[in-house]
Structures are given as C-alpha cells and as structure tokens.
Amino acid sequence: MKKKQFKKKKSFGLSSKLSQLGKKNCPLAKKSSEELNYKNIKLLKKYISDSAKILPTRITNVSHGKQKILVKEIKKARALALLPYVGN
C-alpha cells in the first residue's frame, strides 16, 4: 500500500523567511578571531553604535555567550576611559 504524499503548503510567515536565511554564524567564534578583552579597543568599537550604545545580538550575530563577555569587556573599557560612555 502506497503512502499518500501531501504537497507542502507554502507559508508566507516569519518562520519560512528565517528557514530560508539559514543559520547565522558568530563572527567571534572563529579560532582565528582576535582575543576578546578590554584592551582590544579596535575590536570593541565594531560592536558600539555612533551614539556609544552597545549593539544587540540580532544586529551583530554574536552568540549569547560571547555577547555577555563582550558587554562585560565594553563596560570595563568604559570604566578605564578607553571607550566613551556617550557618543558625539
């Protein structure tokens, strides 16, 4: 007895768009990436907006664990006056 094959319905919702995009990779997860610490100002500035706000994970594609470390290091650099608290 043959199984009936059903046609997959096309959905136009958010879930279908996300599945088409695929999984995004964390830019800091690569082995060759630079070390994440408060002294590396050049790297930390990539994750701060013009108004000196920390960019969220959905924009930077940084993983949850790395984002927590990144926020901690940015705040440490701000406390040592290596990064600004307020933008221009």
CATH number of the domain that residue 60 is part of: 4.10.640.10
Is residue 17 domain-resident? no
Is residue 38 domain-resident? yes
Is residue 9 domain-resident? no
Which structural domain range is residue 55 located in? 25-79
Domains: count for the chain = 1
pLDDT digits (tens, 9 = 90+) for 31-46: 666 788 999 999 999 9
48 bridge partner residues: 54
Is residue 4 domain-resident? no
Is residue 2 domain-resident? no
Is residue 58 domain-resident? yes
pLDDT digits (tens, 9 = 90+) for 52-73: 999 999 999 999 999 999 999 9
Is residue 69 domain-resident? yes
DSSP letter for each residue of 23-85:
PPPPTT-STTSPP-STT-HHHHGGGB-TTSPBPPHHHH---HHHHHHHHHHHHHHHHTTSS-S
Percent of the chain past pLDDT 90, that is, above it, reads 57
